[in-house]
Structures are given as structure tokens and as C-alpha cells.
Amino acid sequence: MVYLILNNSSNLDIRSIFFNVISILTGTGYVNAQFDNWGGFPLLLFLGLMFIGGCAGSTTCGVKIFRIQILWSFVGNQLKKIIYPKGIFVLKYDKNPIDNKFVSSIISFIYMYLIIFFIITALLSLTGLDFITSISGAATSISNVGPGLGSVIGPNGNFSSLPDISKWILTLGMILGRLELFAILVLFLPSFWRN
């Protein structure tokens, strides 16, 4: 078994690291180690992985890797346009050109995802939850990941001790995340209900 030595005192099993990273990315919800004891950086990494999610076409939630790749390419193209103002740069994904309408839908999805994440975090904070529980609870609900971070909803905790109002907020976040936001948000547009 391969171990990673941290601070000359604690050993981390590489298999546990990979298992928990894959579990967070795929949203399976399984945990085989107490990753909240691994330090501050792994917690930030796991929080970031909660947002990323899996690949396109998978049943995972989150922003999805292809959207992050397209956003990264878009930002790179915008920087090239600043450096070379007369240049023509075509945004491509998997060697296929992407139209501006598709890019704007990805940017608006990520924007709405982050806005809803911050709203859920604020609402959870208003119910009396601590910062780590609020922020990781919002991330785990909107991304449908499973475990959160911290002592309450972390790998050794569960959501049963949360107040009922917090559970309702998290349930709403899970529904929004599972149905990819736009499918739910379009129901609130009056134009959707006209003919």
C-alpha cells in the first residue's frame, strides 16, 4: 500500500485519496476516510471538486467539465483579442467551432449556478449554521455530491441534526442542481406559459 507522509506525523493512503476524489467528482456520496482531518488545502480542493462534477452525458451534477473547458477557452480567446485586436479567433471545442449563442448559454449557466449557490449559502447561514456547514451544504446540495465538509455534515456526520428549514433549503438546492437549473428556472418565466 502506498502512503503519502504529511507533516512527518500522519500517513495518508493514496487509495483513499483517489477514492474520495472520484466519489466527490461523480457524486456517489461514498466516503472511506476522514478527509476533513487532512488539512486546509484538501478541504478547498474538495469544495472546488464539488462544483466541477463529472463529464458531459454523465449523471453527475455540478457545472460539468466540458463547460469549464469551454469557459477556459473563451477566456483565452478574450485575452488573445486584447493582445491582437485585429486578429480573428474562432472558439473551438473538440476541433469543432462553437457559436456565440452556445458560449453565452454556458456563461449564463455558470453565472446562475454561482448566484444560486451564494443564495443557498446565505439562507443556510440565516438558519444558524456555521460558515463551513453553510458553504459546503450549499455546494453539496446544488451539486448533489453527498457528504459536505466540517464536523456536522462532513464525512463522519450527516444531515439529520440540521434544522428542518435548513433541510428544506438543501432540498430545493438539490432539485435545482439535479434538473440543471434552466429546466426549473424556465418555469418562472411568463413567456413559457403563453402558448
What distance in Å separates the CA atoms of residue 76 and residue 84, rounded to the nearest whole number? 12
Q: For residue 14, count other CB atoms closer than 10 A to its CB.
A: 12
* Phi, psi of 124, rounded to the nearest 5 degrees: -65, -35
Sign of the CA dihedral with 184 first, then 189, 194, and 195 last: negative
The domain in which residue 91 lies consists of 3-193
What does the pLDDT average to over 135-155? 85
Q: Please tell me the total count of domains within the chain.
A: 1
pTM: 0.80
Q: Write out pLDDT tens, residues 75-88.
A: 999 999 999 999 88
Q: What is the pLDDT of residue 31?
A: 82
Q: What is the pLDDT of residues 118-134, one digit of tens each?
A: 999 999 999 999 898 99
Amino acid present at 57? G
